[in-house]
């Protein structure tokens, strides 16, 4: 019985290793220099020249409308994964990102970061040299919508405090079913707060830890 238990445990370990290996993203080594000190780069797209995408999810046909191209290099302040609800079928992970002075992890001695229910929160301690306005305009909660399975694995593979480069499109997602309308729209500015202030990013490229994921 002791040997059976040992083989069972070894089998579980091997299955876990195999599962982890199969779910690793495929990336290529790159030596791309980028800084998280700069603001994200955003360029509004011409909707007349950009055709929407259509995806089948949760029994509905969804229209994916690009609003702007988006390029951001930032530190991962916090991350949260989601597994339920129609939104998780598009975005399995939210990344709270900080750039500028917030890309330095030493700011965490002054600021606490947290995420819940697709929201991102911060709380600064007394004496913090970082103002509320600075934090708002140099951080964002980004709903990651991977363009494919490899990018999904890449997005789920990042860790807190990593410096990442993300590229893709800020998008709106819309669908109708019967008399009901469903929508999820991106923020287009860096200084908004509250409901609707998060970026919804169709991720097409990610770079971190010396590897590029497409």
| pLDDT values of the chain reduced to their tens digit, one per residue, 214 residues | 455 555 555 555 554 444 444 567 998 999 888 999 999 999 999 887 889 999 999 889 999 999 999 999 999 999 999 999 999 999 999 999 999 999 999 999 999 999 999 999 999 999 999 999 999 999 999 999 999 999 999 999 999 999 999 999 999 999 998 888 999 999 999 999 999 999 999 999 999 999 999 9
Overall pTM surpassing 0.85 (yes/no): yes
Range of the domain at 206: 2-213
Residue keyed to tokens 């908004």: 192
Q: Distance between terminal CA atoms of the chain?
A: 48
- Cα-based distances in Å from 40 to 12, 35, 66, 183: 43, 11, 17, 25
pLDDT of residue 6: 57
- Give pLDDT, residue 11: 55
pLDDT at 23: 64
Report the number of distinct structural domains present in the chain.
1
Contact 172, 188 (CB under 8 A): no
Q: What is the pLDDT of residue 47?
A: 81
Q: Are 23 and 153 in contact (CB under 8 A)?
A: yes
Residue 31: predicted pLDDT: 87
Give the per-residue pLDDT at 24.
Answer: 78
Question: Closest by alpha carbon to 213, among 23, 76, 21, 26?
Answer: 26
By CB neighbour count within 10 A (0-12 exposed, 13-18 middle, 19+ buried), where does 181 fall? exposed
Contacts of 3 by beta carbon, 8 Å cutoff, 6+ apart: none
Per-residue confidence (pLDDT) for residue 2, from 0 to 100: 54
């Amino acid at each position: 019985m002791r040997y059976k238990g040992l083989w069972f445990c070894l089998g579980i370990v091997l299955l876990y290793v195999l599962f982890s290996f199969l779910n690793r993203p495929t990336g290529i080594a790159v030596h791309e220099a980028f800084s998280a000190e700069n603001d994200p780069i955003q360029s509004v797209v011409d909707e007349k020249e950009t055709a929407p995408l259509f995806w089948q999810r949760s029994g509905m046909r969804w229209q994916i409308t690009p609003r702007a191209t988006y390029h951001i290099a930032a530190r991962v302040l916090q991350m949260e994964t989601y597994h339920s609800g129609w939104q998780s079928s598009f975005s399995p992970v939210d990344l709270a990102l900080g750039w500028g002075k917030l890309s330095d992890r030493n700011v965490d001695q002054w600021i606490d970061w947290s995420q819940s229910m697709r929201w991102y929160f911060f709380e600064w301690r007394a004496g913090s040299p970082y103002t509320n306005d600075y934090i708002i305009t140099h951080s964002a909660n980004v709903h990651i919508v991977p363009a494919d399975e490899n990018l999904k694995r890449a997005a789920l593979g990042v860790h807190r405090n990593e410096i990442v480069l993300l590229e893709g499109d800020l998008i709106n997602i819309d669908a109708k079913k019967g008399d009901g309308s469903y929508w999820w729209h991106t923020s287009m500015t860096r200084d908004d707060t509250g409901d609707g202030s998060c970026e919804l990013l169709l991720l097409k490229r990610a770079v971190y830890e010396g590897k590029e994921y497409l």
